Structure 1
Amino acid sequence: MKKHQMFRSLKENPLLEIFLVSTRLGLTSFGGPIAHLGYFHEEYIRRRKWMEEKSYADLVALCQVLPGPASSQVGIGIGVMRAGVLGGIVAFLGFTLPSVIALITFAILLQSFGFTDAGWIHGLKIVAVVVVAHAILGMSKNLTPDIKRKTVALFALIVTLLWQTAFTQIGVIILSGCIGFLLYRNQTIDETSEEVKFPISHRFAIICLSLFFGLLIALPILREATNSNWIAMFDSFYRAGSLVFGGGHVALPLLEREFVPAGWLSEEQFLAGYGASQAVPGPLFTFASYIGAVIHGWQGGLLATVAIFLPAFLLILGTLPFWNSIRRNSIIKGSLMGINAAVVGILIAALYHPIWTSSILSAIDFAFAALLFSLLVFWKLPPWVIVIIGAIGGFLLSFI
């Protein structure tokens, strides 16, 4: 009887139901964005039937072509479909908070005890090599299947490796979008799909998109005018969240260029946090929470979290009502094909520097990385297990 009353209470309070379900997913969803989409499908679509299969597929397709964390945006979209904009916010909080809390705690402990040179930290840096290499293999199959897109990826790799500035990557993304449009502007568009209705007005969507672009322009100006570290940090994280195509792994080079050369944190701290972020469930973008906490404590961690996820919020809320038109636009589709190919090249460049150059320092490091890679790719061990093995192995290697 009590169980029945609890389910009835949840049905009468959809926001509470969304929060409880999304929090459980935030505590158990290991494996990265593709795995997250599988967890969402099982929980939201198959078990709870909050959306139809076709609507879910359309939502996933929209989030895949938007910059930002695709799995988080899908979760927000499902929350919006279930209980409006507030439902999207609640779904995001439930899915994201567990990893935010874990990584801010890790950053504070790292700062308090000062063990950035410990052997197990070096093991986490080797884990970062393995995880990014695995991500590149998976992304290259989907995003660079033909010679044209492989060439775009090669162009992006060479340029970002030889001219290592934050603006270089932005320029490469824009230029690759133009190349993609020229190469794929005559791509066949599927006209058979049914239209999907989303519970957001066009007026509200336009306000969100205006705010997205307005902040992208205004924040750098405000940063120069005020010389405030807090505004500078917000601007850097907001820009990273606005320009990342392809998921959390691609945020790595953008964030590294923004914070390591400027001295906000060391490469050792940066890569240790990236390795630790593989051990927690939820979105990889919460790596920003760790960086913010290293720089300015838990307040910095929360600010970084808001800044890097805000573009994702504004974009998903701003584009949902227009999705039926966007997916039939050949210009946008071709440009995104070029941008996605460039993402692969940018990530390969980041794999070499700073990840490889600061992590693989000897033959034994390379051998250990090969072992971890085999465990992840061939033996299919989950990423959090690889992180634990990496930390223990790094500690043991320090005695050799």
Structure 2
Amino acid sequence: MERELSASPKTPESEHPGRWWHAIADQRIQCDLCPRDCKLHEGQRGACFVRQNTGGQMVLTTYGRSSGFCIDPIEKKPLNHFYPGSAILSFGTAGCNLACKFCQNWDISKSKDMDRLLDAASPEGIAAAAAAYGAQSVAFTYNDPVIFAEYAIDTAVACRALGIRSVAVTAGYMHREPAREFYAVMDAANVDLKAFTDDFYFKLCGGHLQPVLDILSYIHHETTCWLEITTLLIPGRNDSAAEIKDLADWVARELGPDVPLHFTAFHPDWKMSELPPTPASTLTQARRIAIDAGLHYVYTGNVHDTEGGTTFCPGCQAALIERDWYNIRHYDLPSNGQCPHCAMPIAGHFARFDKPFGPRRVPVRLVRR
């Protein structure tokens, strides 16, 4: 059942001054937010469709407008080491700065219809809604928060004032300068590492691999933002044992063994509807390859796989958090994050565990009275 909550009366207009741009020749401006470096004439929008040259200034056209709000389990982001079992208020806008042919949220990320953005809420209204619904965190998701960074940053600041955490679910396609401001206010991030070849990124996403690797390294080594990584395995495109080993070896070498890695199952969608779903055996094999590469926390997703969803202690191999998809079946980890059997610290952020939010999804409308 959908629930309603009055939004803040300070709900802003949708057009908002954009940041991270500069003027160039021929009365154009260049967007400096992501590696696309879109060069825009008057009235022209970038590849993301939401950043526009208006009067020689950058404008974000979706500030304060959302394609929908929902209370989710935090495991759905997916985050398995950031306050497991807690509830998170999720929302997105429209548009995206990548062009993934396999996008699972294409109706939102590829939308050029601003009328889809029916819910309006100020950053303060979103923070208040999260508190009212008992959500410990707010997630910027469904489409990539990089392209509405100003809105996400302002919302994260408002959330922090109320003790609400902020989570970015992103492809990580962003320049370093805006990333400094963005991740300074994010408490956790799940970054989609789409594949481990530039050919995949170029042909299937319209981007490049190296900027994503650079941002992953930046988040982990230069910020306090908790990081987890997700790779959607697509049959015949990025699921070879050799590529998975290269990816896992890079994570182990450049980020360390404690960054959780999620391998999730593809289902046919958008412009790749002719492919079959990912077999569960592919996920199991990928998980084994990554564990053999030295990673401590490797998960499978979008399938029922209790072993692949369970958090094991890297020291004694005790099953500390048993999951089936988004459902936590057993929890045996104290709030100090140490294994109760061998006292080994488990990487992540944990708190007292009472009752999990569970796998349910609760749609929410933020409306103005």
Q: Which has the higher contact order (CA 8 A, sep 6+)?
A: 1
Same fold (TM over 0.5): no
TM-score, with normalisation over the residues of structure 2? 0.31
Q: Which has the higher helix share?
A: 1
TM-score, with normalisation over the residues of structure 1? 0.29
